[in-house]
Amino acid sequence: MLPEAGPTGANLHWRALESLYASAAINQTFESSLEILGEGRARIHFDVTPAVFHAAGAAHGTIYFKMLDDAAFYAANTLVTDRFLLTTSFNLHLTKPITGGRLVAEGTWVSGRRRVFVAESRLIDEAGDEVGRGSGTFMRSRIALSSLAGYGAATKR
């Protein structure tokens, strides 16, 4: 179920999170995009190219972490409209080498609504196979979302 089309409430927050993701310097390095699907659900689309391969010709583990952490993080941050969350721990399970192509990391909020949030994510390759899975804990920071230029740009449209 996609969020409502109007620029109010949760939908405005979700679009602002997408804008925040796009504005992060690290996301200029990796060809990726964020899609907020609804409360507690996020999806990262990611193109894996040889530029991120290790010496044996497959994606380095940092790429798995980046995609899985981002998807889980943004799934959790859909529930928090005032503060930026911080990753406090993240567990990875890498199940298949990635040798390129378009991947999707799907994040889902699991629990928590006050200070600490738990979310999980899975990484799917073009063939529809799960190639990695992760789970993390995220906590509220002192950083106001409204103070971040990438977030604020979307809320001022």
Q: In angstroms, rounded to a whole number, what is the distance separating the alpha carbons of residues 11 and 4?
A: 6
- Nearest one of 38, 37, 47 to 125, comparing CA atoms: 47
pLDDT reported for residue 9: 83
- In this prediction, residues 133-141 reach a mean pLDDT of 98
pTM score, two decimals?
0.91
Q: In angstroms, rounded to a whole number, what is the distance separating the alpha carbons of residues 20 and 34?
A: 9
Instruction: Tell whether the torsion through CA atoms of 52, 56, 57 and 60 is positive or negative.
Output: negative
What are the boundaries of each domain within the chain? 9-155
- Assign domain 9-155 to its CATH architecture: Roll (3.10)
Look over the chain and give the mean of its residue pLDDT values, rounded to a whole number.
92
pLDDT reported for residue 155: 55
Strand partners, 43: 35, 106
Chain-centre distance for alpha carbon 13: 15
CA angle 88, 107, 31 (to 5 degrees): 95
Q: Under the phi-then-psi rule, with left for phi > 0, alpha for psi from -120 to 50, and beta for the rest, what region is 44?
A: beta
pLDDT band, very low/low/confident/very high, at 66 (cuts 50, 70, 90): very high
Instruction: Tell whether the torsion through CA atoms of 109, 87, 105 and 20 is positive or negative.
Output: positive
CA angle 60, 71, 113 (to 5 degrees): 140
Range of weakest confidence among 5-14, 24-33, 111-120: 5-14
pLDDT band, very low/low/confident/very high, at 4 (cuts 50, 70, 90): very low
